[in-house]
Amino acid sequence: MLTAATLTRVVGAALEEDAPWGDLTSTTLLPADATATADLVARESGVFSGGEVFAAAFALTDASITVDQHVGDGDHFVPGDVLASVSGPARGILTAERVALNFVQRMSGIATLTAAYVAAVEGTQARIVDTRKTTPGLRAFERHAVLSGGGRNHRYSLSDAVMAKDNHLAVIARSGADLATALRDALSRLPHTVHVVVEVDRLDQIPSVLDGGAHTVLLDNFSLEDLRAGVALIGGRATTEASGGVDLDTVGDIARTGVDVISVGALTHSARALDLGLDMRIS
């Protein structure tokens, strides 16, 4: 969630990283009273995300800089569209420029890729969701971008849900415990609000997971045939989630197997930054 505290902390850290002792170029070459207006211009088509982040980079650099947003997060744009305008002291605008662009290019790239996945499953019941495969420190921004593209968010962190994956199951099996019993024991100790997800990679694992009371069964790297069989076997007793081997060429077929959720790590770990530029006019 993009709270004011998150914006200040993350954007502030990026600005400090980029100009730890100030912007040497702007402060030595530009007059202190020089002002400028700059337009955020699209060089390619996409879906916008990161308007608040873009504005925060300038506000945290110089509170007298104003940013006018011409599009909102989730809006589509084409080359040549002016997405925002920035006005104020030229030194501050140039100091914040790179950080502001880095964030909005990255977030708009994620939103654009997410929108392509969402379009690919249109007409099915499947929801496209992200994963924890995010850039360290930027999870709130990247997950916001997924929402801008029409996707949904998975658990935010390890603290938000029980999600037993292959390595967890291996430890349980090595200890000699029965999976269904381990799940029932965990549920007996958890608040009723906690969601429990269990990953399986074989159809024969599903009965134990259902017997243990899991809320979601994550079908990992299943063939299309096995996905259909898994959905039928679960029969609505739990939410079905597919993961692994998901790309824009396969996601439509995966969705048509009847799964409820498709988690896609590529939304955040493989999105390309969009080409957006800041065109300045000195006044």
Q: Report the DSSP pairing between strands 196-200 and 76-77.
A: unpaired
Mapping DSSP to helix (H, G, I), strand (E, B) and coil, where does residue 189 land?
Answer: helix
Question: How many residues are given for the chain?
Answer: 283
Mapping DSSP to helix (H, G, I), strand (E, B) and coil, where does residue 257 land?
Answer: coil
Sorted by sequence, the CB contacts under 8 Å of residue 63 that are 6+ apart come out as none
State how far the Cα of 274 lies from the Cα of 81, in Å rounded to an integer: 13
* 82 and 279 Cβ atoms separated by less than 8 Å: no
- Choice among 62, 98, 201, 228 that is catalytic: 98
State how far the Cα of 39 lies from the Cα of 204, in Å rounded to an integer: 57
For residue 55, which of 80, 43, 38 has the smallest C-alpha distance? 38
The amino acid present at 123, given as its one-letter code, is G
Mapping DSSP to helix (H, G, I), strand (E, B) and coil, where does residue 30 land?
Answer: coil
The number of beta carbons lying within 10 Å of the beta carbon of residue 233 is 16
State how far the Cα of 217 lies from the Cα of 207, in Å rounded to an integer: 10
- Choice among 220, 226, 237, 256 that is catalytic: 220
- Choice among 155, 165, 228, 237 that is catalytic: 165
- Choice among 81, 199, 241, 260 that is catalytic: 199
* Centroid of chain to Cα 225: 29
- Decide if 132 is catalytic: no
- Decide if 247 is catalytic: no
- Decide if 133 is catalytic: yes
- Choice among 39, 62, 132, 133 that is catalytic: 133
- Decide if 199 is catalytic: yes
Active site residues: 98, 133, 165, 199, 220
